[in-house]
Amino acid sequence: MRTSIAQTPKQYQHLERIDKDIAAGYAFSPCSKCPASVEEPGTLHRSNYERKPRGFAAGKEPATCVRDSFCCSAEGCRKRTTPESVRFLKGRVYLGVVVALVAAMRHGPNAVRMKVLEEHLGVDRTTVARWCRWWREDFVDMPFWRELRRTLVPRPEEALLPGSLWERYGRTREGMIEMLKALGPVTTATGREGR
């Protein structure tokens, strides 16, 4: 049974490549966080950091899990800028969890699907419950979501998130990638992770 698009290393690498493409647009661009006290605004230099892979069962996690990130070059600023990511949502939780949840939410997290989630991804019922709450309580309150929702016809039903959102993207693997790209801003809006 397929539960996740990021289940295999190849699929993971595809998502990683998307993140690299997004991050490439930030390299050596001007820092947008320099305070007024800095005479000459800095440029962004690479300063990646490693994240512990999460959401995968033991032995199934990717060998390395690097979050693309940058630091300002200007003395007196040095602030970190972290690009959007299709692999990380809300900074901490791993994409696989989200994807698996979407699969689970297609028909509701029944006992069989919960077992698959536990075995393949090492996520338990509590994690699933927490993530359902996040989608339906926190996510729906984000201005980003209200904006995105307006562009989707018909509007996804919030009580059925994230499955209803995936539906707007065709419920295909390609659609999933598109959806995760669209969700990119969420990962930087709240993603103060790393430092």
Q: Which one of the spans 67-75, 106-114, 131-139, 140-148 is the region binding Zn ion (CB under 5 A)?
A: 67-75
Is residue 176 at the binding interface for Zn ion, with CB under 5 A as the rule? no
**Amino acid occupying residue 164:** S
Tell me how far apart the alpha carbons of residues 87 and 97 are, in angstroms, rounded to a whole number. Answer: 10
Based on its alpha-carbon atoms, the radius of gyration of the chain, rounded to whole angstroms, reads 18
Q: Which two tokens stand for residue 195?
A: 């430092």
Q: Which is nearer to Zn ion, 9 or 35 (CB)?
A: 35
Interaction pattern, residues 18-47, with Zn ion; x per rule: CB under 5 A:
-------------x-xx-------x-----
Residue 49 host element (H or E): strand 49-50
3-state secondary structure of 114: helix
The answer to whether 100 contacts Zn ion (rule: CB under 5 A) is: no
Instruction: Give the closest residue to 98 by CA, choosing from 3, 2, 193, 1.
Output: 3
Size of the site for Zn ion (CB under 5 A): 7
Of the listed pieces 16-24, 68-76, 94-102, 132-140, which binds Zn ion according to CB under 5 A? 68-76
**Residue closest to 117 by CA, chosen among 133, 97, 132:** 97
Closest distance of CB 44 from Zn ion, Å: 8
Interface with Zn ion by CB under 5 A: which range of 49-57, 74-82, 91-99, 171-179?
A: 74-82
Residues in touch with Zn ion (CB under 5 A)? 31, 33-34, 42, 72, 74, 77
